Amino acid sequence: MRMVAKILRESLLVLVVASLLSTIGGIGFEALKEKFYLLPIILIALPALNDMIGDLGIILSSKFTTIIYLQKKQKMQKKQKKKVSERREIREIIMVVLFVAFVMAIYLFFLSTTLAILTKKHVDLQSAFKTLPLFIVSALFIVFFLSLILTTLGFFVYKKGYDPNNILVPLATALADAFNLLLVCLFVLMF
């Protein structure tokens, strides 16, 4: 039982905080539940969109952490080049992730529209295309916003002596859930 207690002590607080952070978006979802019923494309795409942004947040977190640790290692050997290459590598991975987010948002839109047509008969193509900007804007905006938060926080957490992986990964998925649902709710309100 000592192992069970240890696991609960170390993980429970982070898990509870991450889960509760996700409910922020859920509140908006609950408030607009009748409106969501009329938008089957968004309903079908919502879990996948949340997942995708969360996944990209995890990739950014783990890449940033690796860059920080690698730079620390390199810093001991070549001190001067540190700042330039660190910034360049971070910029590069953000660009890769933004590019994937853009392509995947379009892919998700077409796939969810097809599935909505197959599962629900009353899907109007003209109004379906009005939801395309939501997919692109939420994917690009949140991933960019996450990358800003995660880089800043990553360096801060690292300087405080913690492993950024342990804090950034649950935070990235929770923030992705919260921001994405809030943005989707805002869109549904305007639709």
Q: How far apart are the first and last CA of the chain?
A: 53
d(CA 152, CA 157): 9
> Shortest approach of other proteins to residue 120 CB, angstroms?
7
Three-state SS for 32?
coil
Q: What crossing angle do the helices spanning 2-31 and 164-190 adopt, rounded to 10°?
A: 20
50 part of the interface to other proteins, by CB under 8 A: yes
Q: Look at residue 51 and give its three-state secondary structure.
A: helix
Q: What distance separates the 2 farthest-apart alpha carbons in the chain?
A: 64
Give the CA distances from residue 49 to residues 33, 104, 173, in Å, rounded to whole numbers and listed in that order. 18, 9, 12
For residues 152 to 181, the per-residue mask of contacts with other proteins, x marking binding by CB under 8 A and - elsewhere, is ------------------x--xx--xx--x
Report the residue number, 101 or 157, with the smaller CB distance to other proteins.
101
Given the complex with other proteins, which of 103 and 148 has the nearer CB atom?
A: 103
Chain positions 51 to 110 lying near other proteins, rule: CB under 8 A, are 51-52, 54-56, 58-59, 85, 88-89, 91-93, 95-97, 99-100, 103-104, 107-108
Q: Pick the closest to residue 97 from 132, 65, 52, 67 (CA basis).
A: 52
Q: Which residues bind other proteins (CB under 8 A)?
A: 1, 3-4, 7-8, 11-12, 15-16, 18-23, 25-27, 29-31, 33-34, 36-37, 40, 43-52, 54-56, 58-59, 85, 88-89, 91-93, 95-97, 99-100, 103-104, 107-108, 111-112, 115-116, 119-120, 170, 173-174, 177-178, 181
